Amino acid sequence: MEYRPLGKTGMQVSALSFGASSLGGVFHDVDEQTGIRAVRTALDLGINFIDVSPFYGLTKAETVLGRALAGVPRERYFLATKCGRYGAQPEDFDFSAERILKSVDESLSRLSVDYLDIIQVHDMEFGDIRQVVAETIPALLKVKERGKARFIGITGLPLVMFVRVAEQIVAGTIDTILSYCHYELNDTSLLAILPAMEQRGIGVINASPLGMGLLSVRGTPKWHPAPDEVKERCRRAAGLCQTRGSNIIKLAVQYSLGEPRIATTLVGTASPENIASNVAWAAEPIDQQLLNEVLEILKPVHNVTWQQGRPENN
């Protein structure tokens, strides 16, 4: 397993990391014991960074993860969770200082740990940017001062939000960003903000290298917000990989690990077998010819995305 520095945190994180949303049954029902074995398998194979949120499975993911980590020496892993988002409806977002402080304590209890390595604002584009800057982040600084978290991060879909927040706060306040669906086979727009993050010493975490199911043989779930043309092109790319005796998931995972400025890429699976496959793929060279053919299919929809959250935050 390759390890990379996460900004200026001093943490050396595995290039491939564990996205624990899967433990909450976000994509399909998950057997708890199987999920626990997936976490243990990831740790045994060298993955040392785990990301979760109270939103995933409406606290189920944190609860199952806490059970999976029971008895595991704390120095074996880096742990990140989130706050601010607790459901899918507008009323389920709360970026107030009071709720943030309470949320962190709740997460620590569910995870059965004394501290978090990173506490992150979850999907900040659904909030008022002024509140995030003036209230949410100062509340997280209190969390940090009290020893309940070592570092502070922000997450979301619109890339412009990362730059806007970074420009409005004191340098060094934000330690990490978590971006998703913006560094994968069909979308590499995350590259545009890497220099700005690097200049500020902010570590970059990449998530959803499969585009929340875009890059899969099964195709996208009905709720997926991508435009139809993007879905169709991704289906064609997945079909091409099949005809070549390969798997677009393998290609997508390998591709996502190819940018060294991105510290780590989260993969979400509650299957021990899938975790083992991902780790094995990470160590193999990418099929350059197949990659070129897939990128050619996806070229007409390259960097085509969708809006999320408040209009003014996109």
Element (H, E) at 79: strand 78-83
Q: Residues 246-264: what's their mean pLDDT?
A: 97
Looking at residues 29-52, what average pLDDT do you find?
Answer: 95
pLDDT at 113 over 70: yes
Per-residue pLDDT at 279 exceeds 90: yes
Mean pLDDT of 32-51: 97
Using CB atoms within 10 A of its CB, is residue 51 exposed (0-12), middle (13-18) or buried (19+)?
Answer: buried
What is the mean predicted confidence (pLDDT) over 42-70? 97
Give the pLDDT confidence of 286-305 residue by residue, as tens digits.
999 999 999 999 999 999 99
pLDDT tens-digit map of 1-18: 999 999 999 999 999 999
Q: Among 3, 56, 115, 183, which one carries the catalytic annotation?
A: 56
Percent of the chain past pLDDT 90, that is, above it, reads 95
Report the first-to-last Cα separation within the chain, whole angstroms.
36
In which band, very low, low, confident or very high, does the pLDDT at 250 lie, cut at 50, 70 and 90?
very high
Residues 6+ apart with CB under 8 A from 118: 9, 78, 79, 80, 81, 149, 150, 151, 152, 153, 175, 176
What does R_g of the chain's alpha carbons equal in angstroms? Answer: 18
Bridge partners of 5, per DSSP, are 12
Q: List residues bridging with 265 in a β-sheet.
A: 16, 206
Alpha-carbon span 6 to 123, nearest angstrom? 20
Average pLDDT over residues 173-197: 98
CA–CA dist 220, 239 (Å, integer): 14
Number of C-beta neighbours around residue 125 at 10 A? 20
User: Residue 5 has what pLDDT?
Assistant: 98
Does residue 56 carry a catalytic annotation? yes
| pLDDT tens track for 199-239 | 999 999 999 999 999 999 888 888 899 999 999 999 999 99
The H-or-E segment that residue 19 falls in is: strand 16-19
pLDDT at 27: 67
Angstrom CA distances, 305 to 35, 149, 188, stand at: 31, 33, 11
Residue 25's pLDDT is: 81
Contacts of residue 106, defined as CB under 8 A and 6 or more positions apart, other chains included, come to: 54, 59
Q: Is the Cα torsion angle 304, 274, 6, 116 positive or negative in sign?
A: positive
Q: Is the model's pLDDT at 26 over the cut of 80?
A: no
Domains in the chain, start-ordered, CATH in brackets? 3-212+250-285 (3.20.20.100)
pLDDT mean over 142-159: 98
Higher pLDDT pick, 218 / 87: 87
> Are 59 and 87 in contact, with CB atoms under 8 Å apart?
no
The residue ranking higher by pLDDT, 68 or 30, is 68
Q: Within 13 Å of residue 164, how many CA atoms lie on the same side as its CB? A: 16
